[in-house]
């Protein structure tokens, strides 16, 4: 029943001195804007920042309870949250050796937020899936941009002190997706082919790579459909030229941590094909009871020297642990002028196709449209 907000207030060189302290408005107290009290603003020792990171908590079930407002000198653009801790990461330091990312940890109990520690890791963090808390430790996957990029996984303890690492993973490549699952981790890097790395994180002080698989293309998003099967959603790529050749779905068997393998794949469209799910995992519908996934896409192919789109709409796909990976149905958006697909969702036995200006409903078993 609590909503946590992480916001940044940036200060400019010629900022008005009277506008340096951040303000907020909490209608449980007043309709006026108020400055955050000076004694509620903290700073990190040995960190220099002219920005504010503001962490707030609002009890949405109690309209009379004031919001909890906490301010820190610093900033952050990536958020990861476990059951009782909030982590905020941001690139604060750029050096000739690469980027250093600051990570802040906050303990949360209801609307009470307490600073628990701060740490640093080399490199930049791709997204929230590159951070994961397990048994009190935080695992972080990074790419360090130098003349030649390199990747790493760092393990930080409860106080965000580094206790273990794997460095120099896939030099000259960068991380495209990460998934942590218990004491295992999976990383996809890419330059011209897609290496999937399997990580053993059971000993946080001595993590190691146990397996590697190289296949054409790369996965932008990894999702477990079972304990031993990973679904990868990404792009098919020409190994020689690096040209994108369609949307690629893969099923990876990771039951043997030393020998991961791709048990099936499905390529949709060709050059120019696009799906929001490639950059936003929230665009993916998952129905595990029916082994079904769905997302909207624009599929294109090459006709001579020209690229031509031939499908706009939603793709309903079966993805099973036995390796089955096939299109069950396509819901075309062609002819609905000005409409763009936002999401495919389901409630019970009804599949909903949500567009900008209308919603269509389908029977989830027959895919017959309900009018």
State the CB neighbour count (10 A cutoff) for residue 88. 24
Answer yes or no: is 53 within a domain. yes
Mean pLDDT, residues 287-315 taken together: 84
pLDDT (tens digit, 9 = 90+) per residue, 69-94? Answer: 888 887 788 899 999 999 999 876 66
Token reading at 87: 């982590």
Sheet of 261-268, strand order = 218-224, 229-237, 244-253, 261-268
Residue 304 pLDDT > 70, yes or no? no
The percentage of the chain sitting over the pLDDT mark of 70, rounded to a whole number, equals 91
258 confidence band (pLDDT: 50, 70, 90): very high
Answer yes or no: is 119 within a domain. no
State the CB neighbour count (10 A cutoff) for residue 214. 11
Domain count, the chain: 1
Mean pLDDT, residues 256-261 taken together: 94
State the CB neighbour count (10 A cutoff) for residue 129. 18
Q: Name the β-bridge partners of 102.
A: 90, 120
Q: Which residue has the higher pLDDT, 292 or 99?
A: 292
User: Which ranges constitute the DSSP H helices of the chain?
Assistant: none
Task: Give the pLDDT of residue 75.
Answer: 76
284 confidence band (pLDDT: 50, 70, 90): very high
Task: Give the pLDDT of residue 47.
Answer: 66
Residue 54 pLDDT > 70, yes or no? yes
Task: Give the pLDDT of residue 291.
Answer: 96
Answer yes or no: is 69 within a domain. yes
Task: Give the pLDDT of residue 26.
Answer: 86
Token reading at 197: 């790395």
Task: Give the pLDDT of residue 172.
Answer: 86
Answer yes or no: is 362 within a domain. no
Residue 314 pLDDT > 60, yes or no? yes
Token reading at 78: 């990536």
| Cα separation values, 182 from 132, 135, 136, 201, Å | 9, 9, 12, 8
Q: Which residue has the higher pLDDT, 134 or 148?
A: 134
Mean pLDDT, residues 286-313 taken together: 84
Residue 352 pLDDT > 70, yes or no? yes
Q: With beta carbons less than 8 A apart as the criterion, state whether 177 and 219 touch.
A: yes
pLDDT (tens digit, 9 = 90+) per residue, 187-197? Answer: 999 866 668 99
Residue 333 pLDDT > 90, yes or no? no
Mean pLDDT, residues 20-42 taken together: 84
Averaged pLDDT of the chain = 88
Strands 68-73 and 41-42: parallel
Q: Which residue has the higher pLDDT, 99 or 257?
A: 257
Answer yes or no: is 326 within a domain. no
Angle 217-220-225 from CA coordinates, rounded to 5°: 100
Tokens 């990747």 sit at which residue?
151
Residue 48 pLDDT > 80, yes or no? no
Answer yes or no: is 88 within a domain. no
Answer yes or no: is 95 within a domain. no
Task: Give the pLDDT of residue 212.
Answer: 93
What is the model's pTM? 0.88
95 confidence band (pLDDT: 50, 70, 90): low
Residue 12 pLDDT > 80, yes or no? no
Task: Give the pLDDT of residue 24.
Answer: 85
Task: Give the pLDDT of residue 160.
Answer: 95
Answer yes or no: is 37 within a domain. yes
Mean pLDDT, residues 142-170 taken together: 91
221 confidence band (pLDDT: 50, 70, 90): very high
Q: With beta carbons less than 8 A apart as the criterion, state whether 79 and 14 touch.
A: no
Domain housing 71: 1-75
Most confident of the following: 51-55, 73-77, 166-170: 166-170
Residue 46 pLDDT > 70, yes or no? no
């Amino acid at each position: 029943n609590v909503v946590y907000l992480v916001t940044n207030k940036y200060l400019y060189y010629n900022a008005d001195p009277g506008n340096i302290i951040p303000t907020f408005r909490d209608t449980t107290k007043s309709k006026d804007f108020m400055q955050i009290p000076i004694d509620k603003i903290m700073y990190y020792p040995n960190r220099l920042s002219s920005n504010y990171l503001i962490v707030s908590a609002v009890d949405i079930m109690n309209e009379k309870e004031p919001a909890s407002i906490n301010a820190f000198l610093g900033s952050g653009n990536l958020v990861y949250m476990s059951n009782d801790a909030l982590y905020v990461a941001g690139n604060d330091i750029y050096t000739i050796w690469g980027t250093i990312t600051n990570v802040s940890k906050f303990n949360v109990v209801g609307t009470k937020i307490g600073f628990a520690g701060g740490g640093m890791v080399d490199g930049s963090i791709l997204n929230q899936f590159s951070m994961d808390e397990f048994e009190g430790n935080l695992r972080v996957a990074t790419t360090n941009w130098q003349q030649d990029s390199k990747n790493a996984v760092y393990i930080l303890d409860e106080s965000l002190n580094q206790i273990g690492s794997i460095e120099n993973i896939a030099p000259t490549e960068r991380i495209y997706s990460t998934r942590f699952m218990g004491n295992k981790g999976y990383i996809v890097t890419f330059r011209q082919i897609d290496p999937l790395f399997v990580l053993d994180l059971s000993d946080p002080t001595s993590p190691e790579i146990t397996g590697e698989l190289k296949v054409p293309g790369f996965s932008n998003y990894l999702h477990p459909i079972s304990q031993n099967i990973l679904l990868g959603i990404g792009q098919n790529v020409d190994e020689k030229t690096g040209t994108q050749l369609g949307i690629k779905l893969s099923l990876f068997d990771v039951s043997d941590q030393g020998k991961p393998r791709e048990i099936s794949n499905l390529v949709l469209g060709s050059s120019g094909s696009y799906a929001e799910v490639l950059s936003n995992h929230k665009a993916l519908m998952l129905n595990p009871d029916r082994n079904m996934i769905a997302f909207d896409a624009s599929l294109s192919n090459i006709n001579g020297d020209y690229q031509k789109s031939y499908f706009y709409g939603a793709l309903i796909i079966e993805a099973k642990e036995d390796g089955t990976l096939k299109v069950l149905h396509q819901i075309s958006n062609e002819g609905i002028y000005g409409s763009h697909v936002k999401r495919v969702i389901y409630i019970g036995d009804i599949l909903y196709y949500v567009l900008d200006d209308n919603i269509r409903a389908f029977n989830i078993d027959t895919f017959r449209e309900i009018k």
